[in-house]
Amino acid sequence: MSEPAERIIDFILREIVRRPGVQIDVDTPLVSSGLIDSLALVEILHQVAEVTNLRIPAGKVQARDMDTVRLMLATAARVGKPRQ
């Protein structure tokens, strides 16, 4: 697993899920499975931008683009722009 993916997973477990015994990998559905609420996506999107060092215009991102960590990183690569 890539380092950015690990950091995002760690953030989701520590800050969002906050329950013991939960395991997720890059392909675990997060929102569609009910593991996290879509209200938490804005925090995760900030973290993805932080980890990838990209500026991600939130208007180009839909909730379905954030359903797994793999999708999040692909979305960041697709719509992200270098930070100035």
Please answer whether residues 44 and 72 qualify as being in contact, where contact means their C-beta atoms are separated by less than 8 angstroms.
yes
Nearer to another protein, 43 or 54 (CB): 43
Nearer to another protein, 4 or 67 (CB): 67
Q: Which residues contact 47 (CB under 8 A, 6 or more apart)?
A: 7, 8, 11
| Candidate residues 1, 22, 74, 77; the one interacting with another protein per rule CB under 8 A | 22
One-letter amino acid at 6 equals E
Nearer to another protein, 2 or 33 (CB): 33
| Candidate residues 3, 39, 83, 84; the one interacting with another protein per rule CB under 8 A | 39
